[in-house]
Structure formats: C-alpha cells, structure tokens
Amino acid sequence: MKKMEVMTLAMKPNILILGGGYGGIVTATKLTKELGVNEVNITLVSKHEYHYQTTWLHEPAAGTLDVDRARMPINSLIDENKVKFIQGEAEQVHPEEKKVSLANGEQLEYDYLVVSVGAIPETFGVGGVFEHSFNKWTVNGARELKEHTEYMFAKYNNDPRDEYVTFIVAGAGFTGIEYIGELSERVPELCKKYDVPLNKVKMYVIEAAPSALPGFDPELVEYAMNLLENRGVEFKINTPISEVTAEGVVLKGGEEIKSETVIWATGVRGNPIIEKSGFENMRARVKVDKDLRAPGHEDVFIIGDCALIINEEINRPYPPTAQIAIQQGETVAKNLAALIKGGQLQEFKPDIKGTVASLGGKEAIGVVGDKKLFGSSASFMKKMIDNRSLWILGGTGLVLKKGKNPF
C-alpha cells in the first residue's frame, strides 16, 4: 500500500456501533447511504451473528411461529464491503480513552460511538426472578419456553399435577398480553395433542399496576381482557408479586399460586454496560440530548432501550419500542454524517404512527392515528407493521422471505 493510501486510511473516522438490534442495524445501513467507504470506517459489533425481531418473540415462545422466522443473519442485512461485522459482546465503554472493551478482552477504538445494546429484565426488587422464571426474551429464551411448555403438557398425563398446566405471566404490558394471547390461542391444540382436559389448564396474568396495558385506551383494554378471559385467562390486577419461587409465585399479602411455568414480562431496564461505563443514568437508561448524544459526550450516541426520551406532552418517557429505535437509527446516521462532513445536527422527534398489540390468532387491538382498531382489522395492521420493519431492515427480498400474511 502506498504511503498516501495509508495516511488516508488512518485519517478516516472510525464509527463503532454496538448492538445488532433494530437501532444498530438501521444506523449501519443508513450510514452507508450517507457516507462512502472513502469517508469513514464503520464497524458493527453484536453478541449474535443474527438479528432477531424482538417484537415477534411472543409467538415462537408460545409455539405459534417457527423461531427461525424471527431471526436473520446480520451479514444478509448489511453490506460487508462497507460495514465490518464483529461478533462479540461489548462490556464497557471507556469514554476518556475512546475505547470499548469486549468480553474476550479485545479493545476497539472509535472516533464516534453508537450504543444500541438492548435491555435486560426489570425485577423491581422481586426475589427469585432470574432463578425461577422464564425471563429471557431472546431467540434461545423463546425456544426454551416453547419446549418447556410442551413438556409440561406431556408430563401431565403421567403425573397429573395442577402446577404442570398452570401458567403465570407476570406483567400485563405489551409483552405479557401478546404472549398470553398466543398461548391462550394455542392451548386447545396442546390439550388435544397431549390428551389434557381443557378445564385443567390455568392461565394467570398478574399485574401490579391498576390496569392491564397501562396507558392504553381503556376501551381497547376492556376488549382485550374480555377476549382473553373468554379463552380461560384469569387476571389479577393491582396485585404485586412479592417473590418468585421454585413452586410458583407469592403475592403481596401471602397468597401463593403454584406453577412450574412463570413467565416474567414486567418490563425492562437498560443494559448494564451503561452503568459500568459511568454514564449518568436512571435504571441503566441515559436521558440523551435532543440530537441523541449522551450529555457531556459529543462523540457518543445512545439509542434504543438504553436511551431515555421524555414525551413532553405527558411528561413521561416514551416506551422503548422498535418503532422508535428504527427512527433513532435513521436520525443518528444523518447526525454522524453532519459531524463528519459538516452540517446541522437534527433533533430527534418520535413519529408514532400507531400502536398495535396482537392477541393471538386473528385478534388484536390498536390505535393508528386517531382510529381505534379491534379484532381482524387490528391484526391485519399488526402484520403490516411487522412487514414494514422487515422492509426497512432488508428491503422487499426480506419481506418476501420472512414476512407475514396479513390476511
């Protein structure tokens, strides 16, 4: 390599992106359209060699969708001629040194950093969650829960204990409601397959807040609860769990529900890397500046689950959704290009196009614009939203390969 070429390579800014979720992938792909290979070096680091649709995981977890439909190789989503991919787990950012430590001991240098590393379950101080519940909303976590559920049905015939076919979902937010929707839709099939009487299956959703789907339209919440109750789901609202044990859960007040299957879906907190790296945070989430940079760090952007953005209309944080993470990735790509080529940085303003929760089968609820959607029309919209995220990530080809039939 000639001396001038070496100098040019060394002078190109290094952009390091941590995380292969919605925000990280979109940042990487949009960056390649904003900046050429002669202008910047882009590196994407992800724990897995695949991206997975976190918003789909309730389906493979319940067994209503093959888990491979929810994941796709990262090298099929990025242009490896423009983005270097490293499979590894980021453990700590060293902002003063402009380096990131990986779990294998390697250190990566950066000029600009994008942190989009996802979240971990929030326990709210409840003991036994990690030891005795299914709490990993990942590809392998979904696979494990599906296989365990089928094993419980198979086991019941040889040893008919109620706790084998008693299922407890902790949390009536989106994840909990979407999962119990899929499970309640599948239970009759499982009962028939494993010769288990339908009336022996118990399904509980336990929520500490005063309502299911907190913050959602009350009319839609009522529709969802009525539908799920008709499928045999029992709700315990305004009922905190004090402990998860090997035998089930203990509710505040002392009541115990025995179950071999407790699914933890009470919400998330940011990634521990935020706390380890010394960023000012709340529950491992950073209240980012309007351009998505970490306060006091002009070279560090934080997006996705680790970013805290306040909805000033209601003075509450926006929920960390895939929709917002994708939009953040698009904004960060533009802002990085502005920093490198010169230009005005954009403020990030979420554009909430709609919110839809699936309830299993062809049932869902949602709000799109000012319109409330129920039943099959909401289910149609949910699948279209899922397909749109595929289109953003990988274009028409990915939609044809992995997309859902909305009809």
In a domain, 255, yes or no: yes
Q: What is the CATH number of the domain that holds 174?
A: 3.50.50.60
Residues 16 and 104 in one domain: yes
Q: How confident is the model over 158-168, as a mean pLDDT?
A: 97
* 149 and 162 fall within a common domain: yes
**Residues 191 and 289 placed together within one structural domain of the fold:** no
276 and 301 co-located in one domain: yes
Does position 1 have pLDDT exceeding 80, yes or no? no
Pick the catalytic residue from 59, 178, 260, 330: 178
Q: Per-residue confidence at 36, pLDDT binned at 50, 70, 90?
A: confident
Is 178 a known active-site residue? yes
For residue 367, tell me if it sits in a domain. Answer: no
Q: What is the pTM of this model?
A: 0.93
Residue of 171, 272, 256 whose CA lies nearest to 212 = 171
Q: How many domains does the chain have?
A: 2
User: Is position 36 within any domain?
Assistant: yes
pLDDT tens digit string along 311-357? 888 888 998 899 999 999 999 999 999 999 999 999 999 998 889 99
pLDDT band at 37 (very low <50, low <70, confident <90, very high): confident
Enclosing domain of residue 212:
129-266
Closest to 129 in 3D by CA, of 242, 282, 10: 242
In this structure, are 185 and 279 located in the same domain? no
Say whether both 149 and 245 belong to one domain. Answer: yes
Residue 19's CATH number: 3.50.50.100
138 and 261 together in one domain:
yes
Are residues 136 and 257 both part of a single domain?
A: yes
